[in-house]
Amino acid sequence: MIGQVNMKHFQFKALYQDNEWVAPAYVSVDQEGKIAYLSATPPDSITNIEKVDGYALPGFQNAHSHAFQYAMAGIAERHSGTANPDDFWSWRNAMYQLALNVQPEQMEAIAAMLYAEMVRHGYTSVAEFHYVHHDLTGKPYSNKAALGERLIAAAQKAGIRITLVPIFYQKGGFGQAPTKGQQRFISPDMDSYLDLLEQSQKAARPYAHASVGAGIHSLRAVAPEVIKATCENLPTDIPIHIHVAEQLKEIEDAKVYLGARPVEWLLNNLTLNENYHLVHATHLTEAEVSGLAKKRANVVICPSTEGNLGDGLFPLASFQAQDGQWSIGTDSHIGLNPLEELRWLDYGQRVTTHKRNSFYSPQQTDSGRYALAMATFAGRRAMGHHTNEFFQIGDHFDAVVMDANFPLFAITSLDNLLSTIVYAGDCTATLGTIVNGQWVVQQQRHHAYQDIVADFKQVIASLEYR
Ligand SMILES: [Zn+2]
């Protein structure tokens, strides 16, 4: 009941709800952080309403993260000075050096800092594609999910929801034994992976804001017959994440080893459906684009990382014309701003097609509205949460609140506001981020910033990495 004690009440200048603004918007949140009331009129006989001069949007969904890579963001940006500049594969060698050396408490401190920064940028959920499982010598910890548990603890500290996706990594490449650089990643067979998954589910259980998905690192990292068997043995109600078709070399290798391109192989060998989240899917043929769209499989696009690593551009226009479903992720965390990810995705299409406004469907021609709905709903599915309303009675209240006094927002009509936010906003234009009905960040300040940043600085210093 709305009048109960310990309930929180907000009044926002407006709240964006499924293609329309509720203005003003009154939201009451119960003790569990769930929305109990949402209306343009205030709840009866309530006086303790927090008045917020801002526009509430659903919290962003970060559908792809490798937390430890945050420690190397920005320090792999030097040209070798030779005719052979750095590429994805040489970057990967540098990343393996970090993966080989990071200790559990260091992993937790890096992830907590990263996740706190994600919340500051408006993300309220993260899917952590987690493949560093073993100790520094490559031996499994007595609790196989020990490092996954550290990531969940980091998310808890940072106040972000986490979907931990423990990753099955078996091979060093197509038909190859794992290398020393990969020794912390390896599950030798399906049973060992399913055990890791079970341990991860056990680790997540005590946490209210953690869930678990499943994942295959890539077609090059697990034998094809094992991928098939594993996917047939996974629970049917959790999201399944796979890296796919990020690099041209990977496509050529797949053609030789599998006799098919990566996405072509997935379409022919797995029963893809809306639980599948194909990360990157950068290099696709028209038939692959249509196949994915038809199966309702989702694509997770990570524009700032894909740009940074020189991957290529996802064929958005064609995928979208077939009602293909996509979300965004920050992957290596070279960029953490969700608005920038959306802009990159759109502008990549604009500069190659010489046309404007790539985001649209026949039902939704406003680019900002289209992008927010797609990234939110497919992003939530990537966390295992299937819904088609932004804010719903009974759902946890997660929101990013844009500052109504930011110059461009202050002068814009509600009709044009969402695209103004997406195309001309940034995270300095937010009042803060609410997760589970509580402010976690306000005025750019995370509530646990002091502790989190102190640990982070100390860990980075001890890693002697930067
Ligand atoms: Zn990735």
Query: Contacts for 38-47 with beta carbons within 8 Å, 24 or more apart?
Result: 38/391, 38/393, 42/11, 43/2, 43/3, 43/9, 44/2, 44/3, 45/3, 46/2, 46/3, 46/9
In a domain, 274, yes or no: yes
Q: Is 300:280 a contact under the CB 8 Å cutoff?
A: yes
Q: Identify whether residues 25 and 97 lie together within a single domain.
A: no
CA distance 462 to 43: 53
* Res. 275: pLDDT tops 90: yes
Predicted local distance difference test score (pLDDT) of residue 1:
62
In the annotation, is 280 catalytic? yes
Same domain as 293, residue 441: no
pLDDT of 3 > 80? The answer is no
Q: What percent of the chain has pLDDT over 70?
A: 99
Looking at the structure, do residues 15 and 70 belong to the same domain, yes or no?
no
Q: What are phi and psi of 304, to 5 degrees?
A: -70, -40
Q: Is residue 371 part of a domain?
A: yes
Overall number of domains in the chain? 2
pLDDT at 357 over 90: no
CATH code, domain with 272: 3.20.20.140
- Please indicate, yes or no, if residue 2 is contained in any of the structural domains: no
Task: Calculate how far, in angstroms, residue 167's C-alpha sits from the geometric centre of ligand 1.
Answer: 11
Q: Is residue 387 in some structural domain? A: no
Compute, in angstroms, the gap from residue 332 CA to the centroid of ligand 1. Answer: 7
Catalytic residue among 66, 209, 243, 280: 280
398 falls in which pLDDT band (50, 70, 90)? very high
Residue 121 lies in a domain: yes
On whether both 34 and 164 belong to a single domain, the answer is no
Other CB atoms within 10 A of residue 261 CB:
22
Task: Check pLDDT > 90 for residue 238.
Answer: yes
Whether residue 329 is predicted with pLDDT greater than 80 in this model: the reply is: yes
For 61-83, what is each residue's pLDDT tens digit?
Answer: 999 999 999 998 888 887 878 87
Sequence length of the chain is: 466
Please write the tens of the pLDDT for every residue from 420-457: 999 999 888 999 999 999 999 999 999 999 999 999 99
Structural domain includes residue 439:
yes
> Ligand 1 centroid to 177 CA: how many Å?
21
Instruction: Check whether residue 216 and residue 353 sit in a common domain.
Output: yes
Helix/strand number for the chain, H first, E second: 15, 18
Residue 66 Cα to ligand 1 middle (Å):
6
Beta carbons of 14 and 22 less than 8 angstroms apart: yes
| Cα 203 to ligand 1 centre (Å) | 23
202 falls within a domain = yes
283 classed as catalytic: no
The DSSP element (H or E) to which 266 belongs, if any, is helix 262-269
How much is the mean pLDDT over the chain?
95
Rg from Cα positions in the chain: 22
Q: Of residues 30, 311, 331, 455, which has the active-site annotation?
A: 331
- Token reading at 318: 């064609």
* Distance from the first to the final alpha carbon of the chain: 53
Domain encompassing residue 302: 60-382
Rounded CA-CA distance 319/333 in Å is: 25
- CATH at residue 22: 2.30.40.10
Q: Report the C-alpha gap between 111 and 129 in whole angstroms.
A: 12
Q: What share of the chain is helix, strand, coil (3-state, %, to 5)?
A: 40, 20, 40
Q: What is the Å distance from ligand 1's center to 24 Cα?
A: 40
281 & 327 share domain: yes
- pLDDT of 393 reads 97
Question: Does residue 120 share a domain with residue 267?
Answer: yes
Residue 283 within a domain = yes
Q: How far is CA 14 from CA 2, 21, 47, 418, in A?
A: 20, 6, 19, 12
CA of 139 to the centre of ligand 1 (A): 23
Interatomic CA distance for residues 270 and 245, integer angstroms: 16
The answer to whether residues 187 and 274 belong to one domain is yes
What is the percent of the chain with per-residue pLDDT over 90, rounded to a whole number? 86
